[in-house]
Amino acid sequence: MAVFRDVMPAFDLLQPNTAAEAQRVLAENGSDAWVMAGGLDSFDWLKDRIKKPQVLVDLSGIDELRGVRTTSDGGLEIGAMTTLTDVANHPEIKKNYGVLAEAVSVVASPQIRNQGTLGGNISQDVRCWYYRGGWPCYRAGGDTCFADTPVGRNREHAIFGADRCVAVHPSDSVPALIALDAKFLVQGSKGQRVMDAEDYFIGPDIDITKINVLQPGDLLTAIRIPATYAGAKFFFEKVRDRNVWDFPLMNVASAMKLSGNNIEDIRIAVNAVSPRPMRLKKVETAVRGKSATPETGEMAGKMAVEGAVPLQFNAYKIPLMRNLVKRAISGTQEATWAS
C-alpha cells in the first residue's frame, strides 16, 4: 500500500488562548477536529497522511494548561500541557512523587521531552507499525489484525487483553500515575469530569478504534495527584531495546506504604503488556500485610502473569513481567530477563 510521507493534508489551524475556547471549538467541529499538544505524535500522523482532520486545534498558546500547582489537600495538579522535562525537574515531584519524575525522565530523548507534554504522553495512540503504516487492520476499520497472523511481527505486542487488536499502550508516565492514584480532569460540553487514571483508558473489547474515553469535544486539561502516596517507597523500571528514544517493551511502577518492612498498602501498574495500562489489583491484595521480601516478590510475580497468552514472538514478556513485578515488590536486582 502506497503511503505518501511528509506531505500533510490541508486543514484549518485554530490556536485558542484559553481552555474554554479550545473546548468550544472542539465541540463545534466534533470528529473533524484533531487536538495537538506538543505535536510529536500529531506530526507523524499528519505527515504520513494516515489522519486527515479538517481542523487542527493547537493548544500551545494556552498558558493555564501549563505548570504544577499545589492543591487544597496537599497534593499537586499538573497542567496537561506541562512538558515532560518540567515534570521530571519539578522539585516537589522529585521530592514526594519520585516515581513520576523517574518515569517521565526516560521518555524518548531530552529533545523530545523538552517539547512533549504530560497530556500528550498519556493520550498518545498505540505504536503498532501495521496500524501506523496505514494497513486496514481492525483498529483502522478493517477486518484483520496483521500482527496476529502466522507471518505477523508481534514482538512488542500484547500478552493480555487482546480482542482482535494486539497493540499495546505505549506510555511511560501512565503506570506511575496509576500507582500514585492520580485523577484526570476532562473538560466537555457538559462540564468537567474527574476520573481515576486507570479509568481514562479503554480496551478493544469496548471500542477498538479508541484507546481512551475522550469523545469529540472533550479536552484533557490537568492531572491531579493526591497526597496519599507522597513520600512512599517507589519503584519504576522500563525495559527497552535502546536507552534513548525507544518505547517500552514493558514498564512497571509501584507505590508502597511500609510499616517496618511490612506492606501496609500498595498500588502497582504495568504497561506495554495489553491494549490498556494494567493495574494489578489481585497482586496488590495478595501482598498487603506481607513483608516486602524476595519471597513475597516471587509470589507476586507469578500471580501477575497468570492468564498471559503470548504471541509467536513475544513469549519473553512473561518472564520479563514476572521479574519486573518481583523487583517492584522486593527491590532485588537480579537479571530482569531471567526465565
In-domain check, residue 2: no
d(CA 172, CA 196): 17
How many Cβ atoms from other residues are within 10 Å of residue 318's Cβ? 17
d(CA 170, CA 167): 9
pLDDT tens digits, residue range 169-181? 999 999 999 999 9
Q: Which of 3-7, 87-91, 96-100, 103-107 has the lowest mean pLDDT?
A: 3-7
In-domain check, residue 150: yes
What mean pLDDT is predicted for residues 112-130?
A: 97
Share of the chain above pLDDT 90, in %: 91
In-domain check, residue 145: yes
In-domain check, residue 4: no
What mean pLDDT is predicted for residues 82-109?
A: 98
183, 223 Cβ separation under 8 angstroms: yes
pLDDT tens digits, residue range 264-288? 999 999 999 999 999 999 999 999 9
Single pTM value for the model:
0.95
In-domain check, residue 1: no
Give the CATH number for residue 123: 3.30.465.10
In-domain check, residue 3: no
Residue 57 corresponds to which cell in the numbers above? Answer: 486545534
Which residue range(s) make up the domain with 171? 9-339
In-domain check, residue 309: yes
Tell me which H or E stretch contains 224. strand 219-225
In-domain check, residue 192: yes
- 49 CB burial (10 A radius; 0-12, 13-18, 19+): middle
Question: Considering its fold, how many domains does the chain have in total?
Answer: 1
What mean pLDDT is predicted for residues 5-32?
A: 93
CA distances from 124 to 15, 171, 323 (A): 20, 7, 27
